[in-house]
Amino acid sequence: MSAPERIPPGSVTTTDPAVADLLAHGGLTVRGRIRDASNAALYCTVAHEGRKAACVYKPVAGERPLWDFPDGTLAQREVAAYEVSEATGWGLVPPTVLRDGPHGEGMCQLWVETAPEAELLALVDGEEPGPGWKAIGFAEVGGGRTALLVHADDERLRRLAVLDAVINNADRKGGHLLPTADGRLYGIDHGVTFNAENKLRTLLWGWAGEPLTGEAVEVLKGLRSALEPGGRLAGALSGLITPAELDATRARTEALLASGTHPEPSGEWPAIPWPPV
């Protein structure tokens, strides 16, 4: 994702305790449109009580209808993904709120500056990934040639793979991975998540079938508790996704704990999004 112009985000960071208040209550000024987004995504500044930051505002009115998701729900799903990310303690999704804006209700998310030199995906010759890489699959590279598409064997990506399995992310593309200069990694564009049917589509299949890390198991146990009726996370999600989708989120969490492994492609749905990056 690239901005039409760069506006310094100032002193506001993703871990700033006041960032949610800034995003929710600050005045939004639209600076331009992010043209490579499939739905209306506006690059804005948000200002409140002397603080200012760059952000992305996606109005519900700019969402394109999808055959397999209810109309006008993508912004809520983006916020729901942030809520689950926060419940894991991993902080994998930038601060995200649902609010009114210049074009009506929509999702507002803190803009994250990326470190373009960070390499998370690559195309390599041969049939096996090298050390430090995980295989995704083969891709055509022109001239009748194919190359192996790989992703980094990176604990941050592995955490994101677990989050995606919980929220049933149907569109984890390479362009949705935002590594930052301080060593953090964020995932964005979570509008097509939480469907009650299995729709996991991702580039992060490198750990498919492998045992979950001990850390991931403990995080999933915490999510299971928080998702119970009356739990904090269940309460937050109940206003953002349907009861059936909340039940399916509980079931996916239970299934991950029961198997103890990363999920594998089901064969019932394309496993990798298109385009992949």
Residues in CB range of 153: below 8 A, 6 or more apart: 132, 133, 134, 206
Res 8 pLDDT > 60: no
pLDDT at 147 over 60: yes
Q: Is the pLDDT of residue 11 over 70?
A: no
Rounded (10°) CA dihedral 51, 54, 55, 61: 100
- Count, residues in the chain: 277
Q: What is the pLDDT of residue 3?
A: 42
Q: What is the pLDDT of residues 168-221, one digit of tens each?
A: 999 999 989 999 999 999 999 999 999 999 999 999 999 999 999 999 999 999
Q: Is the pLDDT of residue 239 over 60?
A: yes
User: What's the rounded mean pLDDT across residues 39-47?
Assistant: 93
Domain chopping of the chain, boundaries = 19-110
Name the pLDDT band for 145 (thresholds 50, 70, 90). Answer: confident
Q: pLDDT digit string (tens) for 185-200? A: 999 999 999 999 999 9
Domain 19-110 CATH (choose: 1.10.150, 3.30.700, 3.30.200, 2.60.40): 3.30.200
